[in-house]
């Protein structure tokens, strides 16, 4: 029998699925419900010192849809509006009721030693399992030199990590932003400053664009908009890239985040270097109940493969990622056309010609391949509306 249990820095996780810091973790009673449904843990909506004033905008979300399904999400939401005392009381309540669930306190404060250390000292007295330093929100906070303004500066990230580490009585994860040229630069900096682990990624800064009908912004706050944070399926390749880059450069545990919707994505994140995963947008769109399918899907996968637990797949993708110049240029794949599926629509031929290669031709309702011209790029198999083309060595 496979198990979903895992262990990170001595913290036991009954399963690797955590709610990410976001609206689904903004209220104690909601987290209570999520725990009762089977989530392994929760990262609390980012807690700030009580005197940090925040004003939310309305509306604060926009989406990108593909065939009626939301594949991209954007938000301009700020942090928790609840007091530090609310969280201290709530954490104690949750831990008493669910001692086996992992609770991570996400925190953010102005760049002042006392502000960070006082917040940590207060939370030290609660039964949290770890801290997550939010150096990564891309909107609202950078204007005040916090959020992503911290996580895009190695110098400030080092400073705050070392302030927190000096007083924290629990492991400290640092949540990084993908909105940097090289995320390993910041990950290595906070590791040197004593961070016990990394959480990645926070949202990807974006602009949802203009509504062609009204010529107003799609995320329209009284005719104006602002750059927001993108999340959901569209950011998964960015999250996977960041996690694997961090893993290639560091042995620190990683809480993987970004576009996870199912067990398949979870396997990919663990293979890319994550120890456990966090999920936000998929929960916002479909509710806490998705945990049932996540757990069953991952367990089925492990059992079908004969794996005892997720440690077997951990980091497995990382050694297979290399520089382009090191890829084997003698390896070549060619398209194979399934005559039973092909309707000779000619789309593959057109696209192949318009994209340089001229390797496919159509005569008498059949598609022919000129191997000498084929570079094995695989575009024909991607555009085929009948999925009649597969690539073979």
Ligand X SMILES: Cc1cc2nc3c(=O)[nH]c(=O)nc-3n(C[C@H](O)[C@H](O)[C@H](O)COP(=O)(O)O)c2cc1C
Using rule CB under 6 A, residue 279 touches ligand X: yes
Helix (H, G, I), strand (E, B) or coil at 324: helix
Residue selected from 46, 205, 225, 244 as contacting ligand X according to rule CB under 6 A: 46
Catalytic annotation present for 137: yes
Nearest of 162, 148, 65, 59 to residue 108 by alpha carbon: 148
Helix (H, G, I), strand (E, B) or coil at 40: coil
Nearest of 250, 248, 147, 255 to residue 203 by alpha carbon: 147
**What is the smallest separation between the CB atom of 373 and ligand X, expressed in angstroms?**
41
Using rule CB under 6 A, residue 77 touches ligand X: yes
Residue selected from 48, 202, 244, 250 as contacting ligand X according to rule CB under 6 A: 202
- What CA–CA distances, in Å, run from 348 to 55, 332, 344? 52, 19, 9
Give the Cβ contact number of residue 96 at 10 Å.
9
Using rule CB under 6 A, residue 48 touches ligand X: no
In the region spanning residues 148 to 187, those forming contacts with ligand X, defined by CB under 6 A, are 175
Per-residue binding letters, 322-351, with ligand X (x by CB under 6 A): ------------------------------
The Cα–Cα gap between 317 and 110 comes to 38
Residue (168 or 277) nearer to ligand X, CB: 277
Per-residue binding letters, 82-101, with ligand X (x by CB under 6 A): --------------------
Q: How many chain residues are in contact with ligand X, going by CB under 6 A?
A: 27
Burial of residue 56 (CB within 10 Å: 0-12, 13-18, 19+) is exposed
The Cα–Cα gap between 307 and 87 comes to 38
**What is the smallest separation between the CB atom of 315 and ligand X, expressed in angstroms?**
21
Helix (H, G, I), strand (E, B) or coil at 6: strand
Per-residue binding letters, 241-260, with ligand X (x by CB under 6 A): ----------------xxxx
Using rule CB under 6 A, residue 139 touches ligand X: no
Parallel/antiparallel/unpaired status of strands 228-231 and 204-206: antiparallel
Residues in CB range of 279: below 8 A, 6 or more apart:
17, 18, 19, 20, 257, 260, 261, 290, 294
**What is the smallest separation between the CB atom of 236 and ligand X, expressed in angstroms?**
7
Helix (H, G, I), strand (E, B) or coil at 361: strand
- What CA–CA distances, in Å, run from 284 to 23, 25, 103, 373? 7, 10, 19, 48
**What is the smallest separation between the CB atom of 338 and ligand X, expressed in angstroms?**
35
Residue selected from 23, 110, 217, 297 as contacting ligand X according to rule CB under 6 A: 23
Residue selected from 21, 48, 225, 250 as contacting ligand X according to rule CB under 6 A: 21
Residue (17 or 35) nearer to ligand X, CB: 17
Residue (13 or 17) nearer to ligand X, CB: 17
Q: What positions carry a catalytic annotation? A: 137
Residues at the site binding ligand X, with contacts judged by CB under 6 A: 20-23, 45-46, 73, 75, 77, 79, 106, 134, 137, 175, 202-203, 231-232, 235, 257-260, 279-282
């Amino acid at each position: 029998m496979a198990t979903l249990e895992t262990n990170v820095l001595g913290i036991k996780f009954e399963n690797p699925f955590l709610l990410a810091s976001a609206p689904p973790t903004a209220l104690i009673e909601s987290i209570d419900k999520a725990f009762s449904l089977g989530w392994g843990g929760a990262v609390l909506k980012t807690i700030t010192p009580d005197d940090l004033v925040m004003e939310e905008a309305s509306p604060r979300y926009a989406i990108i849809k593909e065939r009626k399904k939301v594949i991209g999400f954007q938000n301009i939401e700020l942090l928790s509006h609840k007091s530090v005392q609310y969280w201290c009381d709530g954490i104690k309540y949750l831990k008493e009721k669910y001692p086996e669930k992992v609770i991570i306190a996400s925190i953010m404060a102005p760049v002042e030693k006392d502000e960070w250390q006082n917040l940590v000292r207060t939370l030290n007295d609660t039964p949290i399992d770890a801290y997550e330093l939010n150096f990564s929100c891309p909107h609202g906070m950078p204007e005040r030199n916090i959020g992503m303004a911290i996580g895009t500066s190695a110098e400030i990230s080092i400073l705050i990590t070392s302030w927190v580490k000096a007083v924290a009585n629990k492991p400290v994860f640092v949540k990084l932003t993908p909105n940097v040229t090289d995320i390993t630069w910041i990950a290595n900096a906070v590791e040197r400053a004593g961070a016990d682990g990394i959480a990645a990624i926070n949202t990807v800064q974006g602009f949802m664009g203009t509504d062609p009908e009204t010529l107003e912004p799609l995320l329209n706050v009284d005719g104006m908009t602002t750059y927001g944070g993108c999340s959901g399926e569209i950011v998964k390749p960015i999250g996977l890239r960041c996690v694997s880059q961090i893993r290639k450069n560091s042995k620190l545990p990683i809480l993987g985040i970004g576009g996870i919707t199912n067990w398949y994505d979870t396997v990919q994140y663990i293979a890319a270097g994550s120890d456990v995963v966090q999920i936000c947008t998929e929960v916002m769109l479909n509710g806490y109940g998705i945990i049932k399918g996540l757990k069953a899907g991952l367990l089925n996968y492990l059992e079908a493969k004969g794996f005892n637990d997720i440690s077997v797949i951990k980091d497995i993708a990382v050694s297979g990622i290399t520089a382009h110049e090191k890829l084997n240029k003698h390896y070549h794949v060619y398209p194979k056309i399934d005559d039973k599926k092909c309707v000779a629509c000619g789309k593959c031929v057109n696209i192949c010609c318009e994209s340089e290669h001229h390797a496919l031709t159509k005569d008498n309702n059949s598609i022919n391949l000129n191997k000498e011209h084929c570079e094995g790029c695989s575009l024909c198999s991607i555009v085929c509306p009948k999925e009649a083309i597969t690539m073979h060595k």
